[in-house]
Structure 1
Amino acid sequence: MRLHYIQHVPFEHPGIILDWAQEHGYPLSNTQIYQEDAFPAQKDFDWLIVMGGPMNIYEEDKYPWLKKEKEFILQSINSGKIVIGICLGAQLAADVLGGKVTKNEQKEIGWLPVTFNENIKKESVFSDFPEEMTVFQWHGDTFSQLPPNAYSIAQSKGCKQQAFVYGGTVYAFQFHLEIGENTIKDLLHHCSDEMTVGDYVQTSEYILNNIPMLEPIQKYMKKFLDNLSESRV
C-alpha cells in the first residue's frame, strides 16, 4: 500500500500518519504544493492524504495551484483511491464532490469536543471511537453543505459539520487527530493572527498546557488507519 500526501505549507504535515506508515513499512511520497511540485500519476499511489493550511478553498486568484489540486483530488476519488482530507483537505474534498464551503459562524481553535452521531456505526473503520472526543481544532471555514450522497458522522457546538464519509473511500475531518506537538507550536507561531476573540478560540497558554491531550487522539487516528488498511486487504 502506497501513501501520497499533499502538503500546503512547510509547518503542517501528516504527523502521526507518517509515523504509522513508517511503522508498517508503507511507501510514502508527497507533493509539497507550496514548492510547485508536480502531482503523481494515479497508478503510483493507493491512498491520498490532503493536509490543512491557512488558505481557503475559494482563493484561487491568490493561490492558482488550487484549481489543479482540486482536479487531482477529484481524479483520485473517481479512480477509487482512499482519500483522507484533514481541515483544508476536508473542505477541498467537499468542494470537488459538489458540497459547499463557507465561513463558519465561529472559529474553532484549540482543544474542543466533538460528538459522533449514529452514522458512524455505518463504517467499521470507526468501530472503536467513543461517542464524544476532545480533538484539536484550527479552522474558520466549514463544509456548510455536504456533497450529494455524503453523510455526516460528527458535529460540535461551534460547528455543525465536523466530518463526513463519501462512497466508503473518502474520509473528511474538519479537526486534527494526526497533529503533533511541534505542529501545534508552529501553528501558534505562524498563524497567531487567526486567534481572534471568540467563544471557541482558546489562548496559546491553554493550548500548550493541554498538549497531553494529543496522546488519545493520536491513538484513535492510528486505530482508524489500522481498521481502514485491514478493510482493504
Structure 2
Amino acid sequence: MKVHILQHVPFEGPGVIEHWLAERGADIGYSRLYASAALPDPAGVDLVVAMGGPMSVNDEAEFPWLAAEKRFLVQAAAQGVAVLGICLGAQLIASAHGARVSRNAEKEIGWFDIEAVAAPPGTADNACFRFPARTTVLHWHGETFELPAGARRLASSAACANQAFQLGERTIGLQFHLEMTAETLRAIVDNCRDELVPARWIEDEAAILDAAPGHFRSTHALMGEVLDYLSRPPRR
C-alpha cells in the first residue's frame, strides 16, 4: 500500500495512523506543506491522509499551498484514491468539493461524545462507514463544514452538527481526532494552549490530558476501523 500524508504544521502528525501503516508494511510518503508545497502524482498513491492544523481553509492568501492541496484532493478522489481528512483535512475536502467552511457557533475542544447518523433506508451495509451509536472522541476545532453535494453525514455532536461525512465510496472526513497518541496530544496542547479559554465546550488542559489514557484504546480501535474500511478494495 502506498500512502501519502499531507501535514500542515510540525505538531499535528499522523499519530497512531503511522503505527497502523507500519504494521501493514505500507510505503509512506509525506508532503510537509509548512516547509514545501510539493505534492505527488495521485495516480501513484492508494491512500491520502490530510491532517489537521490551526489555519483555516479560507486562508489561501496567507498559505497559497492550500489551493493546490484542494486541487490535489479532488484529483485523488476522482482517480479512485482513498482519501481521509482529519479536522482541517476534513474541512479541506469539503471546501475542495464546493462546500462552505465557516466559524462554528462555538469552539469545541476536549473529550466530548459524537453520535452516529443513521444511513438512509435501503442503504447497503457496506455502502458507507458506520460509527458506534455514541462514542467519546477528542475535538479541537473552531470552524465547521457544510456537506459537499452528494455526501452522507455520518456523525454529529451537541456542539457541531457535521462531525463526519463520506463522499462516494472512498472519501471520509472527520472533524474530530482519532489519531492522537500521548505524544501528539501533548504537542497540540503545548502549541495551541492559548485556545483553552473557559467556555461551554472547551475543557481545560488538565481535563484533556488526564482523560486521554482512558479514551485512547477506543479511539485507536475506531481509527483502525476507518482505515480498514478505506483500504479495502473498491466495490465492483
TM-score (norm 2): 0.93
Give 1:232 deviation, angstroms.
4.0
- Cα distance in 2 for partners of 1:126, 1:64 equals 33
- Cα distance in 1 for partners of 2:182, 2:36 equals 27
- Cα distance in 1 for partners of 2:75, 2:163 equals 24
- Paired position in structure 2 for 1:186: 187
Give 1:229 deviation, angstroms.
2.3
- Paired position in structure 2 for 1:164: 165
* Alignment of structure 1 residues 85-100 onto 2, 5 Å: 85-100=85-100
Percent identity, aligned pairs only, is: 38
- Paired position in structure 2 for 1:59: 59
- Paired position in structure 2 for 1:208: 209
* Aligned AA (2:226): F
- Cα distance in 1 for partners of 2:109, 2:160 equals 12
Which structure carries more helix by proportion?
1
* Aligned AA (2:228): D
- Find the residue that maps to 1:118 and give its secondary structure: coil
Give 1:123 deviation, angstroms.
5.7
Give 1:198 deviation, angstroms.
1.5
CA deviation profile, 1:32-74 (whole Å, cap 9, x unmatched): 0111141111222111000000000001111111111111111
140, 143, 162: which is aligned to 2:142?
Answer: 140
CA deviation profile, 1:157-180 (whole Å, cap 9, x unmatched): 000110000011110000011111
- Cα distance in 2 for partners of 1:201, 1:171 equals 25
* Aligned AA (1:174): Q
Is the 2:77–2:83 Cα contact (8 Å) retained in structure 1?
Answer: yes
Note closer, same or farther for the CA distance 1:100–1:122 as it changes in structure 2 (3 Å cut).
farther
Bigger Cα displacement from structure 2, 34-43 vs 82-91: 34-43
* Aligned AA (1:214): F
The answer for unaligned runs of 5 or more in structure 1 is none
* Aligned AA (1:107): K
- Paired position in structure 1 for 2:14: 14
Is the 2:169–2:234 Cα contact (8 Å) retained in structure 1?
Answer: no
- Find the residue that maps to 1:21 and give its secondary structure: helix
- Find the residue that maps to 2:119 and give its secondary structure: helix
- Cα distance in 1 for partners of 2:132, 2:140 equals 21
* Aligned AA (1:215): R
CA RMSD of aligned residues (A): 1.6
Give 1:214 deviation, angstroms.
1.2
The answer for unaligned runs of 5 or more in structure 2 is none
Is the 2:113–2:137 Cα contact (8 Å) retained in structure 1?
Answer: yes
- Cα distance in 2 for partners of 1:189, 1:54 equals 13
Give 1:197 deviation, angstroms.
2.2
Give 1:228 deviation, angstroms.
3.0
- Cα distance in 1 for partners of 2:97, 2:37 equals 24
> How many equivalent residue pairs?
231
CA deviation profile, 1:183-210 (whole Å, cap 9, x unmatched): 1111111111122221110000101111
CA deviation profile, 1:86-129 (whole Å, cap 9, x unmatched): 000000000011111000001110101000011297563645x4
Moved over 4 A (4+): 120-123
